[in-house]
Amino acid sequence: MDKAAAFLEYERKEAPHRPVAERLGNYRAVELRLGEEEIRRQAARCMDCGTPFCHAAGCPLNSFIPELNDLVRRGSWERALRLLLAKNNFPEFTGRICPALCEGACVLSLNGRATAIRQIELAIIETAFERGLMQPRPPRNRLARKAAVIGSGPAGLAAADMLNKSGISVTVYDSDLKPGGILRYGIPDFKLEKSVIDRRIDLMKAEGIAFEMRADIGRDISARYLMSRFDAVCIAGGAREPRDIRVAGRNLEGIHFALDYLIRQNMRCSGELPPDDDAMTARGKRIVVIGGGDTGSDCIGTALRQGAAQVCQVEILPQPPWTRDPGNPWPEWPRILRTSSSHREGCVRLWNTSTVSFSGSKNRVSGLRCAKAEWIAQGNNVRPGPVVLPGTEFEIGADMVLIAMGFAGAKKSRVAEDLGVEVNPSGIIASDGRCRTNVSGVFAAGDAAHGASLVVKAIAEGRKAALNILDWLGVKAE
């Protein structure tokens, strides 16, 4: 396939989606994959820039993107796999749910449409699984060193994988029934089918990593036990403490945090709850989602699959522009209007809308009183804040409200207290630039150390923590 100026010949092509009417009937993945020839054409669009901003300014993992694209263009799938895994432990996760920061920094996006990097990386790893290239590869030398990883989300899994590959005996602890953390319990199946997670966990187990589930550190297992049995401990719990809204009527029934709602549906899909469990379901109800981010979008898709009568999404921020504005130059992440697959399935989106109060009947929510808000800089504050405009109040009927306003801190746990690790008021663990806490041998990674962030950043944090643990143990990284 000719490379020269291929970006002029081939347009960017998005992965197709299953038809709306079909996908609303189940929780299977919405996004399909492009065929091999089309993926190779998309890879050929890469300009092989002298300074690849996708690698340096975009990807938190610093993946070798131009080189990967060239190998895929040539059909060198096995070499592409080795290069991809050198930087990304779990491309089957990022290839499905990463917002593709790399594409925002692609030089092609200056005057056109970026290279389809996320789709290309997903094609590499899925082709590898299909061709039997992803086989268990236990470490060649198992060392007399042990590490405990607390948390089985993306950061914890990445840290465990890196440590294990270098010969450390790793045990992952988590209070959930199954590993995966936010990947399994927070992200809907229609974005990430859980068989993808199971496939990777089976591979990690075959490579020697032990998983101890339903283990609550500080209650089921003491810190004294961990510190006496393991040479190093990595805390990698998720940021699951939701940000709340403090308005009149908040105590009414039928108002739920988004993550609680998503977790419950994921547990239904996986068989952890009986199929006839109908607690916290949207069937036949008017649903209002407060918050315009990815979690809010996930709630929309879930509510529609549950049979919601109607769905409305309320966002206090202004509607983003269709294209970059001058204050958001390339290669920064483009702050533009994004429409998810869930939005396309049917919902009303309201911008510049502040929730003033909740109304109810018989102690159950029946609606929201809202008002239009304008973002104005006040006093000495340079950054503008929302100001409710008098006389703009209006009502929205609601039988269930889902609060998707982000996360205020780490998941509440006794682990930090039990270990004697310093935390801030939000429960975020204090650590230095090398992921070290105030307790010798205890490290922190991902949301536990930095607050809620992207899966790709959590993987990068897990890798960083593992490398610093290896350095502290005096072990060479493989």
Stated as kind and residue range, the H or E segment containing 268 is helix 258-269
Written as one string, the DSSP assignment of 294-348 is: HHHHHHHHHHHHTT-SEEEEE-SSPPPPSS--TTS-TTSPP------HHHHTS-E
- Is the pLDDT confidence value at 208 over 90? yes
User: Looking at the structure, do residues 122 and 166 belong to the same domain, yes or no?
Assistant: no
State mean pLDDT over 384-392.
93
User: Looking at the structure, do residues 125 and 53 belong to the same domain, yes or no?
Assistant: yes
235-279 residue pLDDT tens: 999 888 899 999 999 999 999 999 999 999 999 999 999 878 888
Where are the extended beta strands (E) located within 39-168?
146-150
How much is the pLDDT for 81? 98
User: Looking at the structure, do residues 393 and 426 belong to the same domain, yes or no?
Assistant: no
Quote the tokens at residue 360: 């109810």
User: Looking at the structure, do residues 362 and 232 belong to the same domain, yes or no?
Assistant: no
How much is the pLDDT for 240? 81
Establish if 135 belongs to a structural domain. no
User: Looking at the structure, do residues 276 and 392 belong to the same domain, yes or no?
Assistant: yes
Of 130, 162, 194, the residue that ends a domain is: 130
Establish if 136 belongs to a structural domain. no
User: Looking at the structure, do residues 32 and 54 belong to the same domain, yes or no?
Assistant: yes
Nearest to 372 by CA among 401, 396, 347, 394: 394
149-180 residue pLDDT tens: 999 999 999 999 999 999 999 999 999 999 99
How much is the pLDDT for 374? 95
Establish if 139 belongs to a structural domain. no
Establish if 141 belongs to a structural domain. no
Establish if 1 belongs to a structural domain. no
pLDDT higher for 415 or 392? Answer: 392
Of 365, 389, 405, the residue that ends a domain is: 405
User: Looking at the structure, do residues 10 and 90 belong to the same domain, yes or no?
Assistant: yes
Judge if pTM exceeds 0.85: yes
282-321 residue pLDDT tens: 999 999 999 999 999 999 999 999 999 999 999 999 999 9
- Is the pLDDT confidence value at 412 over 90? no
| Sign of the torsion formed by the C-alpha atoms of 150, 152, 156 and 160 | positive
Q: φ, ψ for residue 83 (rounded to 5)?
A: -70, -40
- Is the pLDDT confidence value at 225 over 60? yes
Site of tokens 């590959």? 165
User: Looking at the structure, do residues 375 and 424 belong to the same domain, yes or no?
Assistant: no
Structurally, the chain folds into a number of domains equal to: 3
How much is the pLDDT for 2? 62
User: Looking at the structure, do residues 458 and 324 belong to the same domain, yes or no?
Assistant: no
Do the Cβ atoms of 400 and 285 come closer than 8 Å? yes
Lowest mean pLDDT among 3-17, 51-65, 99-113: 3-17
Establish if 478 belongs to a structural domain. no
Lowest mean pLDDT among 14-23, 125-134, 446-455: 446-455
Residue 317 burial (C-beta neighbours within 10 Å; 0-12, 13-18, 19+): middle
How much is the pLDDT for 263? 96
Establish if 165 belongs to a structural domain. yes
pLDDT band at 426 (very low <50, low <70, confident <90, very high): confident
78-128 residue pLDDT tens: 999 999 999 999 999 999 999 999 999 999 998 889 999 999 999 999 999
User: Looking at the structure, do residues 248 and 150 belong to the same domain, yes or no?
Assistant: no
- Cα dist from 467 to 48, 162, 169, 172, whole Å: 30, 8, 15, 17
State mean pLDDT over 377-382.
74
Site of tokens 């809010």? 296
State mean pLDDT over 324-339.
93
Quote the tokens at residue 454: 């992207």
pLDDT band at 1 (very low <50, low <70, confident <90, very high): low
How much is the pLDDT for 4? 67
- Is the pLDDT confidence value at 205 over 90? yes
3-state helix, strand, coil in the chain (%, to 5): 35, 20, 50
- Cα dist from 302 to 73, 82, 96, 162, 421, whole Å: 37, 36, 17, 34, 37
Question: Distance (Å, rounded) from C-alpha 478 to C-alpha 463?
Answer: 12
Quote the tokens at residue 383: 């950054």
User: Looking at the structure, do residues 209 and 77 belong to the same domain, yes or no?
Assistant: no
CATH number at residue 338: 3.50.50.60
Find the domain containing 448 and state its range: 146-240+409-473
pLDDT band at 217 (very low <50, low <70, confident <90, very high): confident
Contacts of range 190-195, beta carbons closer than 8 Å, 24 or more positions apart: 190/23, 190/27, 190/28, 190/29, 190/30, 190/301, 190/305, 190/341, 191/29, 191/30, 191/31, 191/96, 191/97, 191/298, 191/301, 192/29, 192/93, 192/96, 192/97, 193/28, 193/29, 194/266, 194/269, 194/270
User: Looking at the structure, do residues 118 and 41 belong to the same domain, yes or no?
Assistant: yes
Of 346, 370, 405, the residue that ends a domain is: 405
Percent of the chain with pLDDT over 70: 99
Nearest to 359 by CA among 254, 285, 252: 252
- Is the pLDDT confidence value at 464 over 80? yes
Cα of first residue to Cα of last residue in the chain, in angstroms, is: 35
Establish if 140 belongs to a structural domain. no
pLDDT higher for 111 or 210? Answer: 210
